[in-house]
Amino acid sequence: MLVYNIKLNKKLIFKTILAVMLIICISIGIAALYKVLSSFENKNNNLIEDAIPSSEVAVLTAENYTNVLKAVHDDIDTYIGQKISFSGYVYRVSGFSDDQFVLARDMDIGNKQTLIVGFLCSSEKSKDFEMYSWVNITGEITKGFYNNSEMPVIKITSIEKCAKPDNTNVFPPDDEYVPTAVIY
């Protein structure tokens, strides 16, 4: 029978366990920090990618329509010269000149109620399109005035009739929408 006399160094064991636990905690902290920063970076990259138009002409959709409309109305000077394309229906009110109309959409505000929202547009061909007819336009954002108020005006470069889309309504702007210097 062999008998070994082992003397345990309690201080060394305690220090070793403490060091291992510290290494594990630091590793978990670094991994968590990396995950948080990478998701933040991805979110920012997506915002940057979304903010840069894939072509020279930014295309508005039913999903981004009111966000872009609000951003442009809030800061017209930033968007002057931006080329834009979207569809809507022709809407006129008294006081418009023959070359003006609002390219409109109906915004859902709840309880089956809607408001007419849209960009004021200007084109020599405006009078060729009837009220409530659906058109697709391409144009450039300029600064104009209506009823002594400064507002964005889309100077139309191309306008054509189009079919009424399945989804004609748009929703109010998002609270988390972050405007940029260009429309995506």
Residues near 138 by beta carbon (within 8 Å), at least 6 away in sequence: 57, 83, 84, 85, 156, 157, 158, 159
Q: What is the pLDDT of residues 54-65, one digit of tens each?
A: 447 888 888 888
Residues 73 and 161: their CA atoms lie apart, in Å, by 26
Q: Where are the chain's structural domains?
A: 9-52, 57-170
Q: What is the pLDDT of residues 128-176, one digit of tens each?
A: 999 999 999 999 999 988 888 899 999 999 999 999 988 888 888 876 5
CB distance 62 to 79 below 8 Å: no
Class assignment of domain 57-170?
A: mainly beta
Q: What is the CA angle 59-154-138, rounded to 5?
A: 40
| Single pTM value for the model | 0.64
